[in-house]
Amino acid sequence: MTKQDLIRYMMTELGYSRRDSMALIDKTFEIIKNSLLKGESVRITNFGNFVVKEKGERIGRNPKTKEEYVIKKRTTVIFKPSTNLRKELKK
């Protein structure tokens, strides 16, 4: 599913205009993004959590040449599905 699919869904199923659908989705994603940039977790009930995680520096290895190199530390976002979502996915 893409952003355009979400917009189309809101238009057809919920009766919003294209402009209102785009504005609502854009604002929702902006709020989530800004929270993550502040280092905050985002919890959406019955869906899951978006968690900011710091990954430390480590040694990596090229599988072809076996050459080792340093992978720098970085910040990433991890999604953890809720228990309800996991149960539904197993069905």
Q: Is the pLDDT of residue 43 over 90?
A: yes
The C-alpha atoms of residue 26 and residue 21 are separated, in whole angstroms, by 8
User: 58 — alpha (psi -120 to 50), left (phi > 0) or beta?
Assistant: beta
State mean pLDDT over 47-66.
94
59-74 pLDDT, tens digit each: 999 999 999 999 999 9
